[in-house]
Structure 1
């Protein structure tokens, strides 16, 4: 089942079960996907949003909510921070399982070997290989410095 179908199915279930918070979050996901669809059509790409694109959208939405939750906590708005965390949980339900630290290390080592990377100049190739294979399964903001350390 593709990502759009899973999200649409989740949306219908949330409507039937009257899960207001879940319904709201799933509508936001659908809106983000439709925005990306429209942007791609404007660029002449009629194929639409792929599952990889949806994973990127979901990953970006999680990151935005994490930043918002942190800002709300710093501002003393714990109720709003909690709402952001609830949305993160709902969004993460559609993302693949996150890799453990050991699995991330192994994936980095494999990507370096597969791409033949030897220096920091090859970092783009390694990150491209990781993003192609592990989108939504690891935090690339944290992985970048790890790759840099290995190649540097």
Structure 2
């Protein structure tokens, strides 16, 4: 499980006095804990690795947006700190699908659902998320689905 890998990395970072990894793993665990608390009242609980992957992908997206803002603002040292966190977070993500594999998966789902226009994008995205949630960045997938259906 990804949670176990994160905990093991946190312990190793403590022993090695690796503050960058330690801080990033603490942030990851805090975000996961917050998500667990949000889902306490939910009727359907997602699979654990899918949940953790979604949380980490969201964290990466937030940090990349921060990097852009820091670079625009001339704060390179803060941008570098964010990029360091992104690198640590990416270590725990499962192997992501290549663009070619993602396109093949999107084509298969679109054909299966008989989707031909942008009106069908929601159905295709829902099926894609259900089948390939941990293997695919949904923002990239959205762009690929849009290109496929338009």
Unaligned runs of 5+ in 1: none
Cα distance in 1 for partners of 2:93, 2:104 equals 21
Contact 2:13 2:19 in 1 (8 A): yes
Q: Does 1:21 align with 2:54?
A: no
| CA root-mean-square deviation | 2.0
Q: Does 1:52 align with 2:13?
A: no
Cα distance in 1 for partners of 2:29, 2:99 equals 31
Matches within 5 A, 1:117-128: 117-128=115-126
TM-score, normalized by length of structure 1?
A: 0.88
Residue by residue, what CA displacement relative to the aligned partner does 1:91-128 show, whole Å, maximum 9, x if unpaired?
00111222222122112111212323233222111111
Residue by residue, what CA displacement relative to the aligned partner does 1:11-42 show, whole Å, maximum 9, x if unpaired?
1111111111100000001101111111222x
Which one has the bigger helix percentage?
A: 2
Shift of 1:51: 1.4
Unaligned runs of 5+ in 2: none
Indicate the SS of the match to 1:51: helix
Residue by residue, what CA displacement relative to the aligned partner does 1:57-100 show, whole Å, maximum 9, x if unpaired?
00000000000111111111111101100100000011122222
Q: Does 1:95 align with 2:93?
A: yes
TM-score, normalized by length of structure 2?
A: 0.89
Cα distance in 2 for partners of 1:46, 1:131 equals 15
Cα distance in 2 for partners of 1:120, 1:44 equals 30
Range that drifts further, 110-119 or 6-15: 110-119
> Matched residue pairs, number?
150
Shift of 1:47: 6.0
Cα distance in 1 for partners of 2:115, 2:55 equals 29
